[in-house]
């Protein structure tokens, strides 16, 4: 009986001593590990994202600044601005391609027009012959009016004398007689008081009807007026008319003849 009681006491002592040892170790560990206060507690990773977003600068809203103009855009070499430059580069390349296509089409159209232009005259021209009086002398209106009437000229509302295809004054105008000096017109109601140092015969090209025949009539009228007043026939450069000048005029008329 005594032997059993001794083993029971030994077992109880071992259990008590073991419990004390375990309690002591737990107490030591609890003291060594500092308890985290509410202020020092680290938030879980799920709550850290808003903090990170708040640390980044907020974007400027559209209403807080004016849109940049083309002249205000300038880019530096950093990565962010390079990305913006690349975003602008693609539309510019497309625009450049469209402009090139339009320029190519326009150039082709211009080349086609250039190839077709030599087939006929692209602009009008004119023949002008001056009848200049000697220095110090004038054509008197009283003699000029019957002379031009004899040559088939008819006075127009514009103040010129026109030579029509029909000598009666009908049909298209072949050429005109104008005053060589300002204002270039004649006052039909005051021809008795009128005088001038020269007149000019003016023919527009292309001419209605036969251009060469019209030029021959113009040249013949110039010679008759020059003989009538003792004047000199001059070309468009105000140089005395020569055979070569007449040939040049004839060639010009032929170029505009249909």
Mean pLDDT confidence for 151-177: 93
Beta bridge partners of 139: 196
- pLDDT value at 101 more than 90: no
What's the rounded Cα separation, in Å, for the pair 54 and 41? 20
- pLDDT value at 202 more than 70: yes
Q: What is residue 164's predicted lDDT score, i.e. its pLDDT?
A: 94
Q: What is residue 258's predicted lDDT score, i.e. its pLDDT?
A: 61
Q: What is residue 1's predicted lDDT score, i.e. its pLDDT?
A: 67
List phi, psi (to 5°) of 176: -130, 155
Q: What is residue 25's predicted lDDT score, i.e. its pLDDT?
A: 77
Burial class (CB in 10 A: 0-12, 13-18, 19+), 247: exposed
- DSSP 8-class letter at 17: H
**Average pLDDT over the chain, rounded to an integer:** 74
- DSSP 8-class letter at 232: E
What's the rounded Cα separation, in Å, for the pair 130 and 241? 9
Binning pLDDT at 50, 70 and 90, where does residue 99 land? Answer: very low
What's the rounded Cα separation, in Å, for the pair 89 and 100? 16
Chain centroid to Cα 254, Å, comes to 38
Least confident of 91-100, 163-172, 189-198: 91-100
What's the rounded Cα separation, in Å, for the pair 239 and 100? 51
The CA-atom distances, in angstroms, between 232 and each of 167, 240, 245 are 26, 7, 14
Least confident of 9-23, 105-119, 159-173, 240-254: 105-119
Q: What is residue 124's predicted lDDT score, i.e. its pLDDT?
A: 85
In residues, how long is the chain?
258
Give the DSSP letter string of 162-224. EEEEETTTEEEEEEEEEESSTT----GGGTTT-EESEEEEEEEES-SS-HHHHHHHHHHHHHH
Mean pLDDT confidence for 185-208: 94
Collect all residues with Cβ–Cβ distance below 8 Å to 100 and sequence separation of at least 6: none
- Of the CA atoms within 13 Å of residue 122, those in its CB half-sphere come to 7
- pLDDT value at 34 more than 70: no
Q: Are strands 139-140 and 232-234 parallel, antiparallel or unpaired?
A: unpaired
- pLDDT value at 137 more than 90: yes
Mean pLDDT confidence for 226-238: 96
- pLDDT value at 32 more than 80: no
What's the rounded Cα separation, in Å, for the pair 51 and 61? 21
- pLDDT value at 11 more than 60: yes
């Amino acid at each position: 009986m005594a032997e059993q009681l001794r083993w029971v006491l030994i077992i109880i002592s071992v259990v008590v001593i073991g419990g004390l040892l375990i309690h002591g170790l737990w107490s030591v560990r609890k003291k060594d590990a500092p308890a985290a206060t509410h202020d020092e507690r680290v938030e879980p990773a799920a709550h850290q994202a808003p903090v990170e977003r708040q640390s980044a600068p907020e974007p400027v809203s559209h209403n807080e600044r004016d849109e940049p103009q083309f002249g205000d855009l300038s880019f530096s070499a950093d990565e962010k601005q390079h990305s913006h430059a690349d975003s602008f580069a693609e539309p510019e390349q497309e625009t450049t391609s469209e402009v090139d296509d339009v320029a190519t089409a326009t150039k082709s159209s211009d080349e086609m027009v250039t190839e077709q232009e030599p087939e006929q005259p692209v602009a009008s021209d004119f023949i002008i012959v001056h009848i200049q009086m000697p220095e110090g002398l004038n054509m008197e209106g009283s003699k000029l009016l019957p002379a031009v009437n004899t040559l088939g000229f008819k006075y127009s509302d514009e103040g010129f004398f026109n030579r029509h295809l029909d000598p009666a004054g009908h049909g298209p105008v072949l050429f005109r007689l104008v005053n060589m000096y300002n204002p270039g017109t004649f006052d039909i109601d005051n021809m008795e008081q009128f005088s001038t140092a020269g007149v000019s015969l003016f023919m527009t090209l292309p001419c209605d009807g036969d251009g060469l025949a019209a030029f021959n009539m113009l040249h013949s009228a110039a010679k008759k007026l020059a003989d009538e007043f003792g004047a000199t026939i001059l070309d468009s450069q105000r140089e005395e008319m020569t055979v070569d000048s007449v040939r040049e005029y004839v060639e010009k008329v032929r170029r505009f003849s249909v």
